[in-house]
Structure 1
């Protein structure tokens, strides 16, 4: 089977990344980094995973031209200047170059009707790109739920309630799910073009989707790529995303 035949049968799914400085023998080497679990998950559901390096904002349009679907991966905090707020002291590491590439990539993808899914930071990227904002820090001792779990991300730590009028509920057929949680930020103002699909017990927005039914947008505060091997609901989430990307046999 040639390269062209392979592309006809499997959707190309881009996965965003960051730049990680790795020291080798005393020399710092900037490296492209994304969690390998995304790569494994895309392969598991029948897609071709390609990692999208941070280069510049101009490359975003070219990424949208070659991908059948895009996963906006986890990582650094989004710089609050992107939603016109000053940084709070609780703000953690940001990456301006990554923001500058990923925020327009959301818009280019939607212009081309490319399905997008965001997890953790990726949820925030989608919301901010579409005009929403973020709570820069939500972790306090008074919270009902610790959203920055101390156990592995491969284990769930709290429940989410799925709205029965959501597309997510129609896809999964369940009104609750167990999820993992490794974040200190969350959606504050929801973008006008999105609607809430799931929430945690403390009201934290855990999943969003497009109001426009012709667009496939799935933003998740949790990490299905870490849970799919042991949880049918998480595997089905990923499969529905892959199906939206097309090229099913």
Structure 2
């Protein structure tokens, strides 16, 4: 997509938000060790969205990442009860990995998870071909790429920092994220309509601006996608 025709995902979020008529309340279920969701969502300036947070605490402190994520996903229905006395426009699960690794875990609950939110935002951006960058283990990045392909997106290329899933992702600098995107073959990047920075636990807001300026195509992150879904909840509540 030529740079001049690219849609700025942040600008689209703010435009949708600015059309809200009144404040809306949205619940956010955050994995217990994740500090970035509550750091990044307020930076997006969504004055008409009031976020209420609850922690997803696994029943056991597994060392195996897959078991840990399964426990996080299993905690969703009970954790939602913390919002039982609130009038919410909607509820979000602030974890991307549970969405593509445990897609059926909370299928019967009225939530949108970060993996769903990414797809919603990409479709509204009319982005059909993407490149994917993650901090995840390479195996999990490959699984996510396959799941996105199954959902109808052409994943032209992907790259990962190959960090262990229980590592602390918060210290990843924007420049390191930019370098990760540039590690994807240039022929794959030039095919893409958008860049996806997956994971709610690494800091992406500053990286979004850097990558979008350099590549001239929309850049979306898991936290940006959560914010967009929160605004969609708010707009739906007004109808």
- TM-score, scaled to structure 1: 0.40
Q: Greater helix share, 1 or 2?
A: 2
Structure ranking higher in strand proportion: 1
State TM-score, norm by structure 2: 0.41
Identify the structure with bigger relative contact order (alpha carbons < 8 Å, sequence gap 6+): 2
